């Protein structure tokens, strides 16, 4: 795998459901729920891309594997205690 990991921070948002007649989302219909860090790693020899989605505490929430053929597999992690 490539040792260089690119990490970006994105806001997590939800949209209030309403009667939308177009693809336009108004700012009053969007609520910011937190932020996520997304890391991207690629192995050129295998053609597999790995995307890690982390929460604000650097806990991995999702691992996504993307093959060069277009197939995608995801693993979602839940840290809540039940």
Rounded to an integer, what distance in angstroms lies between the CA atom of residue 41 and that of residue 16?
33
**Average pLDDT of the residues in 29-52:** 81
Tell me if residue 18 falls in helix, strand or coil: coil
**Average pLDDT of the residues in 29-38:** 80
Looking at residue 19, its pLDDT comes to 60
**What does pLDDT average to over the chain?**
78
Decide: pTM greater than 0.75. Answer: no
Task: Using alpha carbons, select from 40, 47, 46 the residue that is nearest to residue 64.
Answer: 40
For the chain, domain boundaries: 6-76
Give the torsion sign (CA, 60, 77, 3, 5): negative
pLDDT tens-place string over residues 44-79: 777 888 888 888 778 888 899 998 888 999 999 887
Looking at residue 18, its pLDDT comes to 61
% pLDDT > 70, the chain: 84
Rounded to an integer, what distance in angstroms lies between the CA atom of residue 1 and that of residue 39?
13
The phi, psi pair for 5, rounded to 5°, reads: -115, 125
């Amino acid at each position: 795998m490539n040792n260089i990991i690119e990490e970006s921070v994105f806001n997590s948002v939800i949209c209030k459901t309403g009667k939308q007649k177009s693809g336009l989302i108004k700012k009053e219909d969007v609520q910011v729920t937190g932020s996520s860090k997304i890391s991207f790693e690629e192995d050129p020899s295998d053609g597999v891309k790995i995307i890690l989605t982390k929460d604000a505490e650097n806990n991995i929430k999702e691992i996504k594997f993307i093959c060069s053929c277009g197939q995608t597999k995801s693993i979602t992690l839940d840290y809540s205690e039940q």
